[in-house]
Amino acid sequence: MTTTRRSVLTLRTLALAYVLGLVAVPILVILFRTFEPGLAVFIESIRTPAAIAALNLSVLIVAIVVPLNVVFGVVTAIALARWRLPGKGLIQAVVDLPFAVSPIVVGVSLIMLWGASGWFGGLQSSTGIRVIFGLPGMVIATIFVTLPFVVREVEPVLHEIGTEQEQAAATLGASGWQTFWRITVPAIRWGLTYGVVLTVARALGEFGAVIMVSSGFPGVSQTLTLLVHSRYIDDHNTYGAYAAATLLMGLALGTLLLMTLLDRKRSPR
């Protein structure tokens, strides 16, 4: 008995050390380095025009991507959980594809599709809309890498709640839309919230796919993540990179906090 207990304790210590060492320590180091010179220095570092532009761009991309992923993610999840579709397995695999494909490959393929000499390259010459090296390219790349989150969080919840509540609503006279808004949406709310949080975090942090399709000009087409990279690699501005990284983390944590608070306010218990 004592040996089992000892091994359990060892296992717990190992698991905790693993999490702390690999996740918590690096984050704490960044926070420490950021605030070491004082708050004023930090604020100054994130108030440069390039940093403000990068923050705005990142938030803009999130603001476009999240609603799109919520709408299409929920519809896809409902289709997968409720409808009788031929080739459902194939759709499941496609939804998971962004998890499997390296983001950099996504960037390359987007250039091949939308670049000046790509399949849809004609769009740029005919309409003047620049997809690659412009905002649309970054949005498409971000959508690609964040697509699975909402679907994968909502679909199991739909399976779990089953169809009885929806059928009950129908027998009580509710139309399809009324049932969706009054019964389905409240029931999947937690899954959806979590999916949105993951989407926001990933959209803010996406690097590989976005760097391929962005021109990376400071103040124009640099997201916050790209700013961290360029400050560190190109400008050798180590402190600036730490500061921008802290801002990025703050943004993601802020989203998580906000969503939790909003949900608690709306949720009965």
Partner 1 sequence: MITVSSARKNYGDFVALDDVSLTIPSGSLTALLGPSGSGKSTLLRAIAGLEGIDSGVVSIAGVDVTREPPQRRGIGFVFQHYAAFKHMTVRDNVAFGLTIRKRPKAEVRRKVDELLEIVGLDGFQHRYPSQLSGGQRQRMALARALAVDPRVLLLDEPFGALDAKVRAELRHWLRRLHDEVHVTTVLVTHDQEEALDVADRIAVLNRGRIEQVGDPVSLYEKPANEFVMSFLGSVARLGGQLVRPHDIVLERDRLAALAADARTPASPGVVTATVERVVRLGFEVRVELKADSGERFAAQVTRAEADRRRFQPGETVHARADRPADATEAEPALAI
Tokens found for residue 35: 């605030």
Question: CA-to-CA distance for 181 and 261, rounded, in angstroms?
Answer: 21
Phi-psi region of 74 (alpha: psi -120 to 50; beta: other; left: phi over 0): alpha
For residues 33 and 189, which CB has a smaller minimum distance to partner 1 in the complex?
189
- Nearest distance in Å: CB 70, partner 1: 19
CB environment 121-149: b (16+ within 10 A), e (fewer): beebeeeeeebbbbbbbbbbbbbbbbbbb
**Dihedral, CA of residue 69, residue 217, residue 105 and residue 75, to nearest 10:** 10
Nearer to partner 1, 38 or 177 (CB): 177
Question: Judged by CB under 8 A, which of 18, 182, 233, 260 binds partner 1?
Answer: 182
CB 218 within 8 A of CB 227: yes
Q: Can you tell me the distance from the alpha carbon of 199 to that of 205, in angstroms, rounded to the nearest whole number?
A: 10
Size of the site for partner 1 (CB under 8 A): 20
Q: Does 165 bind partner 1 (CB under 8 A)?
A: yes
For position 117 contacting partner 1 by CB under 8 A, the verdict is no
- Which 3 state secondary structure label does DSSP give 128? coil
By the rule CB under 8 A, 82 interacts with partner 1: no
Shortest approach of partner 1 to residue 154 CB, angstroms? 16
CB 259 to partner 1: min, Å: 17
CB of 176 to partner 1, least distance (A): 9
Gap between the Cα atoms of 71 and 225, Å rounded = 26
Residue 113 is a binding residue for partner 1 (CB under 8 A): no
Only one of the segments 54-62, 168-176, 242-250, 255-263 lies at the binding site for partner 1 (rule: CB under 8 A); that segment is 168-176
Of positions 167, 215, 238, 260, contacts partner 1 by CB under 8 A: 167
Rounded to a whole number of angstroms, the minimum distance from the CB of residue 263 to partner 1 is 12
Under rule CB under 8 A, residue 6 binds partner 1: no
